[in-house]
Chain A
């Protein structure tokens, strides 16, 4: 019954979407703008219908309605409630349904917030989003239908993939990723809308879509970090990034989105890079679809690839349609879109932004080549290969280290131009930061050039960004006698985008610091211990206490209890790495135990045990500064939130009496919904 209602809701949504998308161009061409309400109505109706289907799926999962094919495939009576609900995105059909729902939500939100904007940008953007929604609605109606009736109804099901029901981060990483991935549809829709409505030669559409891009960028960044964390906490290898194709698939659109967030500022300030910015919107969207193709088609073997069905061909066809359609549109209008502005001097912020875009694009292309190469090699030469980590590390790390440096240079250079002497003066404080952190890195044992440079540049950029806060706060403090706290709050409130950006920079720098330190200073040892025996790694000692087993409804758990010893041999804590045997799989899921502090992690994994509990083999890894990666991700999101909720009114900071103190830049006029 549930399946039938939901299936019909999805079928109706196909018709609603098609109707809404077709009406829009007629309404605009014929000048009957009141007809546009039909398009907007279709967007809202689609949201209601897909929400209904998604809600019914959750009901079916929770009530164990095994007559619904998706529930029969991923449900199980023994799975805890939380993992039952989140198995909504634990397999192919459910994840496409969830995707369609997030897209319907975004489309409804865009129409709701921008419906009163004059011009044809929003109607065409709504039409574009409906077209994309149509693709997913068609998938749900046919090849990825989650509501196929099952007869006879099974008494129980296998439960979700065991790797996906082992950690609570599975409730966090996928929804964030969908919010990020799907959100990239909005800037793409605005880009297409801008071309179709002849607004691409103004900057309004880019400013309008920036907030949506910023939100999606933050979601995607948080999702990548959460995915790294999941990999770290569940897979038991003590790492968080392996340049695996599915990781790369999430990283690629994040790179182009980051490039967009910077190039759009150049477009706004200097009337430049207009075509480039538009292309970044398109590229970001195409990369999200490509990523979905890579991860969902089963072409790559991974925890993300669910089936080896025909769904991949639909995605390939969709990518082809999107590429051809946008190429025709962009090429046909490129003369009009082309920007008119000029660059300022060499030592200016726009130069840094150009370099930033170049490096981000170069990293993106490198990772893209490395990710697609195995597919090409197999198709052309018939050999099965994978591209090893050394390639990615050698190619991408230098550019990323350069990007860290630019993160520190950009904020301290003004728009337009500056004198060399002034630029040099502004680099003194960050250079001291670079010297300090670089020296700390060398003293700690960093030897490689890129490792030392990474430390130094993180130091440079942290000071470079904090200095902007300091200058602004000091100006307010001196001019108005504001307390430092008030000055900080008012400074941020006066230009949320700018100061939010600096916070996001700090977040990325924390991530960079954590990655650098944990990959250089990682030490690990594996040993078989009898109870009472100890293992010492990088001044951390653990002592095996016992090996035990426990039965739980959906799994059997084998664990080892180890004492963590302090400097004088006293017990300062315990760790319990486990191995979870789910009843549906013959392969256990490792569950390492991680003891975190600001200085780093003590990571203990149980790799083997003797059936009679006589001994256990454990791997102990000491990884400095890993928690900084997770914390940096949070700071990044905070920065994005600050930047997102900027207000549209013009505020000017009164001039400070101290002439030499550079003022925070006055805000530019913005059109805001």
Chain B
């Protein structure tokens, strides 16, 4: 087994991997889109993995705690996309908040989400006057107090 064999074998294996890499890569790319961009794609945007970013349209969210059926509308101001998912909404999920939903846009015009992420900043920000974001759990803590 000489040097050429080794180099040749290396080239073949690396070549195969290179080919597979570029073959598989394009199919598994997840695009980051806004509702407007997604709808502009037309049929090309249906059934492919997408990360959709926008705001929760005020008043659009419904959640059934029993069936875990979650529906809301994501908007970028220009266009709206209805989103459906199964599971609990992230805590503090509220109107107008920035979200990123990952999933596929169905031909029925509803985006089936597999995961929801809330866009939020890690930077510290002092609460504004009158703002009480923590209302939701304050009640529970008061009730639990002995």
- A-side residues, CB < 8 A to B, are 157-159, 161-163, 342-343, 345-346, 351, 354, 358-359, 361-362, 365-366, 369-370, 373, 377, 383-391, 394-395, 399, 526-528, 547-551, 556, 558, 579, 581, 584-588, 607-613, 615, 617, 619
Contact = CB atoms under 8 A, between A and B. Distances in A.
B20 interface: yes
Contacts of B122: 161-163, 585
Contacts of A584: 124
Contacts of B21: 365-366, 369-370, 395
B111 to A, nearest CB: 17
A270 to B, nearest CB: 12
Given A362-B17, A556-B138, 16 more contacts: A358-B13, A365-B14, A365-B18, A373-B29, A387-B25, A388-B29, A391-B28, A395-B17, A549-B140, A556-B137, A585-B122, A586-B120, A586-B133, A587-B118, A612-B143, A613-B143
Given A362-B13, A617-B68, A612 B28 contact: no
Interface string B44-73: 000001010000000000000110100000
A548 B27 CA distance: 46
Contacts of A399: 17
Contact of A611 (B20, B51, B92, B136): B136
Interface residues of B, number: 47
Nearest to B67: A528
A610 B91 CA distance: 11
A551 B141 contact: yes
A92 to B, nearest CB: 12
A609 B88 CA distance: 9
A332 B137 CA distance: 67
Contacts of A615: 65
Given A395-B17, A581-B134, A385 B29 contact: yes
Contacts of B14: 358, 361-362, 365
A162 B92 CA distance: 15
B88 A388 contact: no
A354 B3 CA distance: 12
Interface of B: 1-2, 6, 9-10, 13-14, 17-18, 20-21, 24-25, 27-32, 49, 51, 65-66, 68, 86-92, 118, 120, 122, 124, 133-144
A547 B144 CA distance: 8
B69 to A, nearest CB: 11
Closest 3 A/B residue pairs (Cβ): A158-B124, A549-B141, A391-B28
B92 A386 contact: no
A447 B1 CA distance: 38
Contact of A385 (B6, B31, B66): B31
A362 B12 CA distance: 11
The dominant DSSP class at the A interface is mixed
A332 to B, nearest CB: 22
Contacts of B137: 549, 556, 558, 579, 581, 609, 611
B120 to A, nearest CB: 5
Contacts of B142: 549
Contact of A549 (B28, B32, B65, B144): B144
15 contacts: A159-B124, A163-B122, A343-B2, A359-B13, A369-B21, A370-B21, A373-B29, A383-B31, A384-B32, A386-B32, A387-B29, A391-B27, A395-B17, A550-B141, A585-B120
Contacts of B28: 387-391, 394
Nearest to B22: A369
Contacts of A351: 1
A346 B1 contact: yes
Given A161-B122, A358-B13, A385 B32 contact: yes
B133 to A, nearest CB: 5
A588 B65 contact: no
A551 to B, nearest CB: 6
A354 B17 contact: no
B87 A607 contact: yes
B92 to A, nearest CB: 6
A608 B143 contact: no
Contacts of B136: 611
A292 to B, nearest CB: 19
A588 B17 contact: no
Contacts of B27: 391
Contacts of A386: 29-30, 32, 51
A395 B20 contact: yes
A550 B124 contact: no
A53 to B, nearest CB: 25
Contacts of A587: 90-92, 118, 120
Nearest to A365: B17
A317 B140 CA distance: 53
B87 A388 contact: no
B43 to A, nearest CB: 18
A608 B140 CA distance: 13
Contacts of A361: 14
Contacts of B124: 157-159, 584
A548 B68 contact: no
A277 to B, nearest CB: 15
A551 B87 CA distance: 27
B134 A556 contact: yes
B13 A558 contact: no
A161 B88 CA distance: 24
A575 B23 CA distance: 46
